[in-house]
């Protein structure tokens, strides 16, 4: 994307292997790439103050991960298609902990 900078490995003219991308939005990703997509283990710093560390697949958060929210809340658990999905634990800044199942980024049970 325009205004983005990538430093790292290339293969066949594509981001491939380990590298860091700094996006015009202010987001920064450091981790594994495959064919120009985030794939494998990585860490994403968002311009809004959130930080995600964990698994990526097809350029999205997918698998096991941990999200530190700018609010002070921390989620540890499953992600699918870039949102919380599956088993997870959310610890609020206050210390309260919720454990349950997530669908579409919402706690459902």
Domain ranges of the chain: 5-107
Contact 21, 44 (CB under 8 A): no
52-96 pLDDT tens trace: 999 999 999 999 999 999 999 999 999 999 999 999 999 999 999
Q: What is the pLDDT of residue 54?
A: 99
Distances (CA, A) of 28 to 53, 56, 96: 12, 14, 30
Share of the chain above pLDDT 90, in %: 96
Q: What is the pTM of this model?
A: 0.95
Has residue 1 got a pLDDT over 80?
Answer: no
Mean per-residue pLDDT, 31-49: 98
Q: What length does the chain have?
A: 109
CATH class of 5-107: mainly beta
Quick one: which of 42, 47, 48 has its CA closest to 20?
Answer: 42
Contact yes or no for 105/85 (Cβ under 8 A): yes
């Amino acid at each position: 994307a325009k205004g983005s900078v990538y430093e790292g490995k290339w293969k066949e003219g594509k981001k491939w292997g380990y590298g860091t991308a700094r996006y015009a939005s202010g987001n920064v990703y450091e981790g594994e790439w495959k064919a120009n997509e985030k794939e494998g283990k990585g860490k994403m710093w968002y311009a809004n103050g959130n930080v995600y560390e964990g698994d990526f697949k097809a350029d999205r958060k997918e698998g096991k991960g941990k999200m530190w929210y700018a609010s002070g809340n921390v989620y540890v658990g499953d992600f699918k298609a870039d949102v919380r999905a599956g088993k997870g634990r959310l610890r609020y800044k206050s210390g309260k902990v919720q454990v349950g199942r997530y669908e579409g980024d919402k706690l459902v049970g």
